[in-house]
Amino acid sequence: MMLNRKNKVVAYLLVLPAAAMLAVFVLYPMILNISLSFKDYSMLRTTTKTVGLKNYITLLTDSRVWQAVQRTFVWTFINVAGALLIGLGAALLLSNGFKGSNIIKSIVLIPWVLPSVITGYIWALMLQEDAGVITYILKSLHIVASDFSWFRTGPLSMASAIMANIWRAFPFFTLMIFAKINTIPSDQIEAATLEGANSWQLFRFVTFPFIRPTVYTCTYLCFIWSFNAFDILKVMTNGGPAEMTTTMSIMVQREAFQFFEISNASTMSVIMFVLMISVILLFTLLSKLVRRVRK
């Protein structure tokens, strides 16, 4: 629409509240966060002084921080891979259009709508040592020993939280990929079927190339969500046992709101953000490179 001078001002005024909110409550905190990471600031002390890179050096030489970084990557990788595989599988399954697929389609997003804290609690209950229904079934079938517990060791605790998180994340993949599969031109499928393509070939050469962009986008989103995930881990393991499931977001939150070590928390969150952006950039570069090599 063409605007006269007065209306041009109105156009800016309409965007102003949104821009102001974002500037004050997103951009400014981000800058403040970086500046805090160069200071020695704790809520337990009254003095604040600039210390340069000291916080970064202290944290990056601390093995607990490195372990948290490692755990964050393990947690993120398994979550993304699991949600992608199950989500893609479910989408392909639904695309077969069998009886009852409509029912599943209408309920598939429900885990994604259930508040994540509740997801954490219900999985904690189902995996509970004595009376958790999943543990109980596994014990009755003698798949696990009778004194088995999910929450005694680090890897198993991590596995429990990952199960809950994948259960929450995979429906998003399913729905997005399924929506995309539905837009595959029918002549492509017919042509491939006529030429005698089997299901695998159909998937490999027709379906997958078509849905690839959606798969990439969902994977990217799921990576960001998992990397910063907090709710489920906090509720199910709270970083334990013995710090074995402490990821970076759990650590940042605890440094700030339990130990009041503001500078430590800020520095760690900056490190976290830089790592996240690096991974995204690395993958963007790699996928560009792959595309160029293919051509």
In the bound state with another protein, the residue whose beta carbon lies nearer, of 59 and 248, is: 248
In the bound state with another protein, the residue whose beta carbon lies nearer, of 67 and 188, is: 188
Among positions 51, 138, 189, 244, the unique one binding another protein when judged by CB under 8 A: 189
In the bound state with another protein, the residue whose beta carbon lies nearer, of 158 and 248, is: 248
Torsion (CA) 158, 89, 115, 239 in degrees, nearest 10: 10
Among positions 55, 79, 116, 157, the unique one binding another protein when judged by CB under 8 A: 116
In the bound state with another protein, the residue whose beta carbon lies nearer, of 61 and 183, is: 183
Q: Which of residues 258-277 bind another protein (CB under 8 A)?
A: 262, 265-266, 269-270, 272-273, 276
Minimum CB separation of residue 24 from another protein in Å reads: 7
Q: Which residues contact 246 (CB under 8 A, 6 or more apart)?
A: 67, 68, 71, 239, 240, 254
Minimum CB separation of residue 196 from another protein in Å reads: 11
Identity of residue 89 = G
Peptide bond preceding 17 in cis form (omega within 30 of 0): no
Minimum CB separation of residue 103 from another protein in Å reads: 7
C-alpha–C-alpha distance, residues 42 and 35, integer Å: 14
Q: Is residue 253 near another protein by the rule CB under 8 A?
A: yes
Q: Is residue 115 near another protein by the rule CB under 8 A?
A: yes
Minimum CB separation of residue 154 from another protein in Å reads: 21
Q: Is residue 114 near another protein by the rule CB under 8 A?
A: yes
Identity of residue 235 = V
Q: Is residue 81 near another protein by the rule CB under 8 A?
A: no
| Contact between 237 and 71 (Cβ < 8 Å) | no
Q: Is residue 68 near another protein by the rule CB under 8 A?
A: no
Among positions 60, 81, 179, 242, the unique one binding another protein when judged by CB under 8 A: 179
- Tell how many helices (H) and how many strands (E) occur in the chain: 15, 2
Minimum CB separation of residue 138 from another protein in Å reads: 12
Q: Which of residues 12-51 bind another protein (CB under 8 A)?
A: 12, 14-15, 17-19, 21-22, 24-26, 28-30, 32-33, 36
* Of 66, 57, 83, 68, nearest in space to 177 by CA: 83
Q: Which of residues 126-155 bind another protein (CB under 8 A)?
A: 126, 130-131, 133, 136
| Contact between 203 and 267 (Cβ < 8 Å) | no
**Which of these ranges, 69-77, 150-158, 228-236, 285-293, lies near another protein under the rule CB under 8 A?**
228-236
Concatenated DSSP letters of 193-238: HHTT--HHHHIIIIIHHHHHHHHHHHHHHHHHHHHT--HHHHHHTT
Residue 200 in tokens: 């695998």
Q: Is residue 162 near another protein by the rule CB under 8 A?
A: no
- What beta strand segments (E) does the chain contain? 39-40, 49-50
CA 94 to the chain's CA centroid: 24
Residue with tokens 């993949």: 173
Q: Is residue 74 near another protein by the rule CB under 8 A?
A: no
